[in-house]
Chain A
Amino acid sequence: MAMFESLTKRLEGIFQNLEGRGKLTEDDVNSALREVRIALIEADVNLKVARQFVDRVKQKAIGADVMGSLSPAQQVLSIVQEELVEVLGGSDDKNKLDLSGNPNIIMLVGLNGAGKTTSAAKLANYLRKQHGSRPLLVAADMYRPAAVNQLKTLGKQIQVPVYSEPAGSDPVDICVHALDYAREQACNTIILDTAGRINIDERMMQEVVNIRDRVRPHEVLLVADAMTGQEAVRVAQDFNDAVSLTGMILSKMDGDARGGAALSIRTVTGVPVKFMALGEKLDAIQPFYPDRLAQRILGM
């Protein structure tokens, strides 16, 4: 993170003329929040979301007492961080997966290469180990070369069955048939791995709507790459409009991407983050902790 001067340092620079005690004035707060806004955009938070967020924080920061051992910079940072955790969903129950169905049907959707197939296998592995589920993976990507083989290989690694059909089969049919297969095999959790698609590709978006309409999943999760930039909002909105997302998996959080996209998506669509994925190994998935992401976004 060497390329960006840390937000703490920048805020300390701004407040260096301010005495350690007293109240934060509107001017102090404005110049501090300009730095916060830039830091958020550097973390890939959407512009409009960053502005909206900063406005929220402003109300809380003006007139805040600067006291105790906190410097004014730390004071502003702690308000920002608290607010960030709040916006990211705090300890909201919405952050948890709905496993009340019988069977549970979980559909993964998202842009090409976001990490759907890998996440599908991770989720199967996680649910089996943590919840004693009996998962079935469903290979519904009929487009990407060797997509079915990819899922089969992953299924084998975690010893979870994979339902697939020959090349040329219709993805909607595959998902419908998979429900019957799950019943026969006594699987109670069905995870649908759909093809990657661009949110403005109408034909491909219609396909995923058709799958949703026929299969009625309890969870429709957007797999969002932590490296995504400003367009994350548009992508999430388009998928949300098409298939009513119930949550997201933030993938590739094992690198140094700050993951601001998740804040944007959560703010604009209300779709909660349910999991973070942190690597290519099949146990590299964990439930979402808003405070960890908040720190990450702020580069702390």
Chain B
Amino acid sequence: EETDLITDTLWDDLEESLLAADVGPRTVIWLIERLRERADAEQMRTGAQVQRALREELVDLLGDSSPLHLSQRSPLTVMLVIGVNGSGKTTSIAKMAARLSHEGHKVMLAAADTFRAAAIDQLKVWGERISVPVISQQPNADPGAVVYDAIQAAQARGSDVLIVDTAGRLQTKYNLMEELKKINKIIQRFVPDGPHELLIVIDAPTGQNALLQARKFAEDIGLTGVIITKMDSTAKGGFAFAVTDDLGVPIKFIGTGEKVEDLIPFDPQSFVAALFAQE
């Protein structure tokens, strides 16, 4: 065990592996400082002890995993899914809908991305595949009107979960963020304690912009959870630590592929283990 001493190289290596996983310089500097203090205070003697402590710290930052929140009060649970362009919103919605209907829920989808070319068709194809109805209007229709229609339809048909697909938007686009607030207000008006989930979708290959995205979406309409997609890539999604720590909002799911079954409930331990895994 004498070879496994706590050396400068150990600290450098830890720092490097965290940075390489997109954890971000600020979080990394904070973590390493905290670990150095702990190593002193707890009189750690081996690198393995430090590594273990690091994993504990990382798991702590992620907070607890938490399932989708289904309303006990309202007969209809509404989930609004948001995020920047191409992150995997529509696909993740299909995956969640399949999961929920498999669990016995009566799910409906709202095609409120009326902007992107064939976004409505994309959701409809998914709806057919997973046998879940999709409420839609024409391309370029008002997304708020689609959401209104969908709520009416869900209530009329006795659905208990409505998931709203929104157009991708960069968080810096004022008008698009205003549009999102409008959609949110319509949901609030017709489903008083809704939306019950406001989920941001961020893809694992994203770097330090992830925190800016999460902050702005949280600030403008609030967030209840995060979905990290494309974890089947070589990227580790290390921005997750800063995001959960900063917002105090849990990660709910991990997307691991393009197929409907490629969605797994978030598990902090395995996420941290994967961070250090070499493929």
Contacts and interface: CB of A to CB of B under 8 A. Distances in A.
B117 A200 contact: no
Most buried by A among B16, B21, B118, B122: B118
A153 B114 CA distance: 13
A111 B22 CA distance: 18
A111 B209 CA distance: 18
B209 A112 contact: no
A230 to B, nearest CB: 5
Contacts of B203: 112-113
Nearest to B171: A255
Given A199-B233, A280-B85, A229 B208 contact: yes
Nearest to A44: B207
A228 B207 contact: yes
A231 interface: yes
A104 B238 CA distance: 40
Nearest to B237: A229
B258 A256 contact: no
B125 interface: yes
A113 B205 CA distance: 11
B88 A254 contact: no
Nearest to B21: A230
Contacts of A254: 170, 172-173
Interface residues of B, number: 48
Task: Report the contact-size class of chain A (Cβ under 8 Å from the partner).
Answer: 35 or more
A145 B238 CA distance: 29
Given A42-B25, A252-B170, A227 B258 contact: no
B234 A145 contact: no
Interface string A253-281: 01111101100000000000000000010
A229 B233 contact: no
Interface of B: 16, 19-22, 24-26, 84-88, 115-118, 121-122, 124-126, 129, 139, 170-173, 203, 205-212, 215, 230, 232-236, 238-239, 258, 279
Given A145-B121, A280-B115, 18 more contacts: A42-B25, A111-B233, A115-B85, A145-B126, A146-B122, A150-B118, A153-B117, A153-B139, A198-B232, A198-B233, A199-B233, A225-B206, A227-B209, A228-B205, A235-B234, A254-B172, A255-B84, A256-B209
Instruction: Across the A-B interface, give the 9 residue pairs with the lowest CB-CB distance, nearest first.
Output: A229-B207, A113-B86, A145-B125, A44-B207, A255-B170, A146-B121, A153-B117, A150-B118, A149-B118
